[in-house]
Amino acid sequence: MNTPLLLLYIFLVSVATAQYEDHLVVRAYLDERQIEEIYPWNLDVWSGDSSLLVGPNDIVVSLDHLEQLQLMQVSFDILIPDLQIHMDVAEHDLELSRSISNAMMADFFLAYHTYDEIQKYLVNLTNAYPTISKYVESIGTTVEGRHIPAVSITGTATGTKKNIFVSGGQHAREWVAPATTLYIVTQLITLYQIDSTVKALLDSTQFYFVPLVNVDGYVFTWTGSNNRLWRKNRSLNHDGSRGVDLNRNWDDHWGTVGTSHTPRDDTYCGTAAFSEPESKAVSQYALKNAPIVGAIDYHSYSQLVLRPYGWTTTVPPDDAFAKTVGDGYAQRILATSGLQYTSQGAWQLYYTSGTARDWYNSKAASPVSYTVELRDTGTYGFQLPANQIKPTGAENWAAFIYFAQTAK
């Protein structure tokens, strides 16, 4: 959008709701004492996978909170100075990009899409390439009874093949994650007959994709601007709050570190490992198609390639190989788009437990498994503009080819 139109829109936009009025996003540099002081504020944490950590934290604060941070002598940088305007502009970008995409009728990746549109797209795509792809309507149902779709892809060559597993969209507000997963699915399917590298890869590999794990949460983020930043699924908790963090609900050191047992928190791990039908369904689909030599779980934001483990500083037996592949993934992105993704052990950034990445490694025995945090590093946060969907997809497609070729 050019500057005059953007300014005109901001001036004319009707703010029917003012949930984010007088709010901004800051990167606050916190110590342990300050974290203890601000935890009761129940802030929306955008960084650290929604956990407050010692060091830099991207947090949504009111003007009153900002004043308190100043009184506490907390050092901070302002990332988004007016969150309400940010939300309004993002909503306009969504409407505009979808109208352009619908008008062109040719490029699915010019805009973000609803759950129903994603389902229809995958049905049409796999129907057009039936010899190498299969649409799985449902690997399980969600809390609210929706289907979790999947796609399997492989070449026509026979013989023993290695299995690679990919998931995306565990966190509802991270829209670019399912979009990127769908981009990779599309490239694999449509390039098979015209790209020798893709053909060789598909003829030797069986791919399984679950592009949108948290279907209910994703649907909820489309129901109004006040719900756009929802993270968890839509389970009803015992205290009346909603949602479990699906990426803290996996049966790998569940509920130990880097998670919360408080239902209202964004990192609430649930009542037990795999208490949620979404995480349980994806894990069962992965085990059904084991052994898996490589797995990726796509998220946003921060531009990171994180390898196991998240719950301990002790590294897996195959850490040296996983580091090589993770570093190579980041290098392919740098060579493609010039953007820096940081490859590191998850424990080096922050502690997490009950994650898909660690479960893929320990329970599905995948030697290389990663959490890939996509664009950006805080300018747009979870509301990455639609014009960055294709660049994000392209840079990760280049890296994914390397990953899939190297996993063994």
What is the set of active-site residues? Answer: 373
Burial code (b: 16+ CB inside 10 Å, e: under 16) for 4-16 equals eeeeebeeeeeee
Q: CA separation (Å) from 55 to 30, 35, 49?
A: 5, 10, 14
Contact (CB, 8 A) for 380 and 343 = no
Q: How many CA atoms lie within 13 A of 50 on its CB side?
A: 26
Total Cβ atoms within 10 A of residue 215: 27
- Token reading at 311: 């719950």
User: Rounded distance, CA 94 to CA 84, Å?
Assistant: 15
Total Cβ atoms within 10 A of residue 20: 24
Contact (CB, 8 A) for 43 and 60 = yes
3-state secondary structure of 388: helix
- Token reading at 57: 């934290």
Handedness of CA 341, 172, 230, 115 (dihedral sign): positive
Going through 114-154 in order, the beta strands assigned E by DSSP cover: 133-136, 150-154
